[in-house]
Structures are given as C-alpha cells and as structure tokens.
Structure 1
Amino acid sequence: MKPKPPSIPMPVQAFRHRRSRKRWPWVVAAGLITLLLIWLVAHAPSESKSQAPVPISTAQVAGPPWQMGNPKGRFTLTLYADLECPFCREYFPQLKRWVGANADVALQWQHQPLAAHEPAASAEARLAECAAETDGHAAFWQAVEWVYAHTRSDGLGLPEGLRYPDLNPAVERCLASERPEALIRAQAEEATKGGVTATPSLRLHDRQTGQAILLQGPIEGDALLSAMDMLAAEDSVTSPTTEMPADVVGDMPR
C-alpha cells in the first residue's frame, strides 16, 4: 500500500486574493446604494421647499354663518342677536345647552346690532367675525361667550382697556379691513327684510320639509320642540318655505 502524499497547504496570499475577487461586486453595489441614499437625502429639502403650504381645513373655517351643534341635523336654528343686548346675553347660555341636548339641531348666528347699542355692538361683532375668520367656528362662539361675559351691555361696551386674550396679528389685520363690517351690515339688512324686529329672535328651518318658522323673543325649550314637531308635520311638496307665527310656550332647561 502506497503512502498517501502529504497535502500541500495553499498560500495565504492566494486564498485572500481569491476571496477578494468574489466580494468586489457586492462592495461596488453597496457603494452605489449608499451614493443613491445620499443623493435622495440631499435633494429632499429642496423639493419640500417648493411645495405649497398645506391649506387649513375648509371644514374647520368655512363660514359664515358660524355654527355649533350637528351641521347635518334636520333642523337649522338661526339666532338673530346683538352682542350688547342684555336679553341675548342671558338667553345665549340656555340656548347653547338646549342645542347641545338636541342632536338633530344646528345653531347658527346672524348679526343684528341695534342702533341703540352702537358703536359697541358692531365693534364686538367685528371681533367675533375676525376671530372666526382666523380660527373657525369654535373661535367664533368662544369670542361671543367672552364678549357676553365681559360687556357692560346696553351699548356701554367692554371695560376700557380690556383686551381680547386671543388677539393676534391675523385678527388685527381682519379688524383693520372692511370685510367684517360689510358682512355684519348685510346680515342685519337681511334680518330686517325677513321680519326680525327684536333681539333675540330665532328662525327654525326644517331642511327636510323646507318649512321655516320665525320666533320672536327668547323662546323656551318646550316651545322649540313644539315648533320642530309642527314643521315636521308639514308637506314639503305642497308647501314651500314659509314663515309661521309661534304661539307655543315651554320651559327652557336651566
């Protein structure tokens, strides 16, 4: 039996050379990927700068009229009010609670500053409109509540030197413009043409039947429910939108 020839060890250099020849395509590929990632990162900021800023949600700021409650509810309740009217100031928190307890109603505001309460009434209406123009529906109602909490009413206006806490450059620019004044005047003229002669007054509109009822004065909760029932009973095919007298009385939740 012949002895087995001894194995000859492979030179270390040759082994390393062979391994390096197998790895170089992967090294090149990794380098290309790295360069690609660096290029993408370097170009990302310039692309983002060229994009237009994201617009504010129209669902948040669309208006006026400014609303609270369920915008898809069957009934729309329009409140004609004056921010210097003491009866409006007393009535508003009650009406807000009633709307919050009735999921099928949306409350919307319509300005009707009375001549006897000027110029304070229009100045406060401009503040509410500009707050809403800047920050939407919730900001409008927040401004209304702030005015009612601080005004001396009956045309005396806000205390001297009192500053609205959410006043900012955007609101100030709006106040310096003619936009809010034109809107307030148009709403007041529309209310007068529609037969509104006092504040607060309400117009309840049934979006399903097309019927509406004008309710003068601070209307209590049971009266509003009765008006809703009456409007719901009307035939929208034979009766277009009309105004009907209110002669129902109830109790507003307090």
Structure 2
Amino acid sequence: MSTLRIPVGSHDHVTGNPEASIVLVEYGDYQCPWCGQAFPVVQRLLARHGRDVAFAFRHFPLTEAHPEAYNAAVVAEYAGAQGHFWQAHRALFENQDALGPELYAELIQSLGLDVTGLQQALDTDAFDARIRNDMEGGIRSGVNGTPSFFLNGQRFDTGDDFGTLLDAVEQLLQSR
C-alpha cells in the first residue's frame, strides 16, 4: 500500500479542522470526470464531519487527457493567494463542463479579484512551482491517476464507489 510521502503542512490548502486526527488528502484534477464525481462526496463528508476531519486538496493535472486542468489549477492558486482558494475550488468543480477562459474570468470577477492579474499569472507561470511540487509529491506517493486519496497517510482506493470514503471516515470516528 502506498503512503503519503509529503505530510500535510502549511504549504497545503486545508479545510475542515486543521488539528483533526483524521486527515484526508486528495490529489485531483479539475477536469477529471472522476474527480467531479468525488467532489460532492467529499463535500458531504466535510458537512457531516468537518470538525473531525482535515481535508487537503493537491493538484495533479493530467494535461494530456484534460487540456484545461493546468489552467484551472492556476485559477485556484491565484484565488488562493488572495484568500479564496476554497471558493474557486468549489466553483471549478461545479462548472467542470465549462472550464476555459470565459469561466475563469467570470469566477475571478465574482470573487472580486483582478482578471488582469490572473492573465499575468497564466502568462508567467506564476504558480508553476506550486503545482509541480504537488505533482512531484503525488508521484513520490505512488499517485498515477485522479482522484487519488490518502486517509491518515495511507492510500485509500475507492474504486468506482466514492461512498466508501465516507464509510471509512465514519469507521475511524467510531473506533476512537
């Protein structure tokens, strides 16, 4: 079984309870249809158990299969640099079928952020190191597709049933 090689830390985007004993990490891609299917399950998990779970999202854009995945990650990072990562994260998944420059501009404007700044970030690869660090950490941890989940540092394979993730967290909570 694969283990998470880069522990969750201050470099991560974390929601839920950062001090929780249950830590869920997802390596994901905003254009991946499976990540899109996992998104509402993770949202339900956090709605039910957000006080008991820390959730970190790490970028793993599969650009050969998903040409907008990298730019969507930049959008999330640009918003995140200004305190709006999770709002952008949600909007990107909720509008997964419309990923592209028009959506990115609308999203950034809706957050009250500068669209010109986003374009500069895209043009200058401003968040390339951040995204590549996530990807390299994923590769070191055995990630070869998305979504890839790690529950308390251990790879958790959901197969086609993302509900097993919710079940596993609930079992961990009951065993405490």
Output the CA distance in 1 between the equivalents of 2:147 and 2:137: 15
User: For residue 33 of structure 2, what is the aligned residue in structure 1?
Assistant: 86
Residues 119-147 of structure 1 show CA distances to partners (whole Å, capped at 9, x for unaligned) of 31000000001100112xxx111111111
User: For residue 17 of structure 2, what is the aligned residue in structure 1?
Assistant: 70
For 1:99, which of 46, 50, 66 is the aligned residue?
Answer: 46
Output the CA distance in 2 between the equivalents of 1:159 and 1:197: 25
Q: Is the 8 Å Cα contact of residues 150 and 159 (structure 1) preserved in structure 2?
A: no
Q: Cα distance 1:120–1:141, how it changes in 2: closer, same or farther (>3 A)?
A: same
Output the CA distance in 1 between the equivalents of 2:124 and 2:100: 24
Normalised to the residue count of structure 2, the TM-score between the two structures is: 0.76
For 1:125, which of 62, 65, 73 is the aligned residue?
Answer: 73
For 2:60, which of 96, 102, 112 is the aligned residue?
Answer: 112
Which residue type is aligned with residue 149 of structure 1? E
User: What's the offset of the Cα at 1:188?
Assistant: 0.9
State whether structure 2 residue 74 is matched by structure 1 residue 144: no
Greater relative CO, 1 or 2 (CA 8 Å, sep 6+): 2
Output the CA distance in 1 between the equivalents of 2:151 and 2:174: 11
The count of residues paired between Structure 1 and Structure 2 equals 157
Farther off after superposition, 126-135 or 220-229: 220-229
Farther off after superposition, 70-79 or 122-131: 70-79
Output the CA distance in 1 between the equivalents of 2:149 and 2:13: 15
User: What's the offset of the Cα at 1:159?
Assistant: 5.1
User: What's the offset of the Cα at 1:227?
Assistant: 5.2
User: What's the offset of the Cα at 1:185?
Assistant: 1.4
Q: Alignment partner of 2:56: what SS?
A: strand
Which residue type is aligned with residue 25 of structure 2? T
Q: Alignment partner of 1:94: what SS?
A: helix
Residues 221-243 of structure 1 show CA distances to partners (whole Å, capped at 9, x for unaligned) of 1123335678x7xxxxxxxxxxx
User: What's the offset of the Cα at 1:151?
Assistant: 2.4
Q: Alignment partner of 1:101: what SS?
A: helix
Normalised to the residue count of structure 1, the TM-score between the two structures is: 0.55
Q: Alignment partner of 2:155: what SS?
A: strand
For 1:198, which of 145, 150, 160 is the aligned residue?
Answer: 145
Output the CA distance in 2 between the equivalents of 1:140 and 1:128: 5
**Cα RMSD, aligned residues only:** 2.5
State whether structure 2 residue 170 is matched by structure 1 residue 225: yes
Structure 2 regions of 5+ residues with no counterpart? Answer: 1-8
Output the CA distance in 1 between the equivalents of 2:165 and 2:23: 16
Q: Alignment partner of 2:42: what SS?
A: helix
Output the CA distance in 2 between the equivalents of 1:214 and 1:229: 20
Output the CA distance in 2 between the equivalents of 1:228 and 1:197: 29
Q: Is the 8 Å Cα contact of residues 124 and 147 (structure 1) preserved in structure 2?
A: yes
Q: Alignment partner of 1:97: what SS?
A: helix
